[in-house]
A and B are shown apart, each in its own frame.
Chain A
């Protein structure tokens, strides 16, 4: 059998020192939800190297426009209008086209539209916080939404999440499955957050920061933030550098 990361089709192993540990006691929910045994490792098989395909035909015209996809006719979600955009790459810097990106977020007051949500901030009747898109042929994606508000949560006596958008990314293979969060450049709550602090380095925090992108702003309309995402790389041949999935 050839070594793990050189067989064609294998996925590079996850760098577990780069991702958060399972047990991060300052984020209290992890205490009873973190497996304590060592993960069992094996080279990816076809079961991990394959995955479903999501066609652009599943998308409705407003799926990536959170300002309007839940709003009543002629109305819009309340909040600062923003564009979130970026490119999805793999670890070999190949753009990943055809990937499903799903997002969810609180409204501008920091409240989620969810059965279990109890925060007293008002619901916006025109905003659900749900959106999705599929990366284009260059691996690019874009959402139109409103700036989410920070919100308090019961991890400690006075804990607040920085403004963030949750991202779920589905590339070409089950091995690439990833859920993460995007934070906003300059938010002073980032450095106080126990969930951000599950990350092991400032570099990792930076990788989850969306940066103000004046070039993509629309004057008199929307600010823009750029957030590039990387998913696990598939070993092809050493010098190959084609977009994945093409």
Chain B
């Protein structure tokens, strides 16, 4: 791989600490005079195509306690599998769908919730398609480098079984940690475990 000299390497990461909200979600922590709304709080800016879903969950530490200071960001394709990004060259994403969401977990319960749409399939580098998935990034006190994971869907068995990344993981018990579980129509639960026997799969991407 390309060798990057120390002085040009990516700036090293440091923990977001417990007060990430001040900078990234100020309205959430009661700082209401500066930004009209918190960035990423709405992923839909009008009527959107596809199935509307909510994804909710909790992040648990190694003692089984919920993280109450964490912030998550998600990034995903629209229902046709297109990204709302200049790097998207295959077509035009749903203009009312940003694809990007940011959510601070509830300070008392640790619960997070995203109102979004179910993504379509997106290309894999080997020419096949990836199963529908949402990219997830987690920061909190005690997390030194933001954690990258993905939420796949429990009701997409066929696509999941041919997904190159899930196949690379192989172990069905570990794959299960990446599944958002369908509770009822349009509602999925996605819990994240930082440690323990059902530790979520995290990616180096």
A residues with a Cβ closer than 8 A to B are 1, 3-5, 7, 9, 11-16, 18-22, 24, 27-37, 39-54, 58, 60, 62-63, 69-70, 89, 91-93, 100, 102-105, 112-117, 128-132, 166, 168-169, 172-175, 177-181, 195-196, 198-199, 201, 203-204, 207-208, 229-233, 235, 245
Contacts and interface: CB of A to CB of B under 8 A. Distances in A.
Given A130-B31, A232-B10, A42 B199 contact: no
Of the candidates B84, B87, B144, the one having the most CB atoms from chain A within 10 angstroms of its own CB is: B144
Chain A binding surface, main DSSP class: loop
B83 interface: yes
9 contacts: A14-B204, A19-B145, A33-B194, A42-B165, A52-B84, A69-B33, A102-B23, A113-B22, A178-B13
Given A35-B194, A91-B4, A230-B10, 6 more contacts: A12-B2, A33-B61, A33-B143, A40-B202, A52-B99, A181-B14
A228 to B, nearest CB: 8
Contacts of A18: 6, 9-10, 12
Given A13-B1, A30-B143, A180 B11 contact: yes
B122 A19 contact: no
A20 B144 CA distance: 6
B168 interface: yes
Given A37-B199, A168-B23, A173-B87, A113 B31 contact: yes
A27 B142 contact: yes
Given A1-B126, A16-B204, A42 B168 contact: yes
Interface in B123-144: 123-126, 130, 133, 135, 137, 139-144
Interface string B67-106: 1010001011100000111111000000000111000000
A166 B23 contact: yes
A195 to B, nearest CB: 6
B148 to A, nearest CB: 8
Contact of A29 (B141, B150, B204): B141
B203 A39 contact: yes
Interface string B99-126: 1100000010000000000000011111
Interface in B1-55: 1-2, 4, 6-24, 26, 29-31, 33-35, 39
> At the interface, is chain B mostly helix, strand, loop or mixed?
loop
A11 B193 CA distance: 27
A91 B9 contact: yes
A19 B85 contact: no
A198 B146 contact: no
A138 B14 CA distance: 25
A229 B7 CA distance: 10
Contacts of B30: 113, 115
A179 B87 contact: no
A112 B19 contact: yes
Nearest to B81: A46
A13 B204 contact: yes
B107 A116 contact: yes
A229 B13 CA distance: 11
Nearest to A227: B11
Contact of B4 (A12, A180, A199): A12
Of A9, A180, A196, A208, which is in contact with the most chain B CB atoms at under 10 Å from its CB? Answer: A180
Contacts of A44: 205
A180 B34 contact: no
Contacts of A245: 86
B9 to A, nearest CB: 6
Nearest to B6: A203
B183 interface: no
B34 A70 contact: yes
B144 A30 contact: yes
Given A46-B123, A114-B21, A32 B9 contact: no
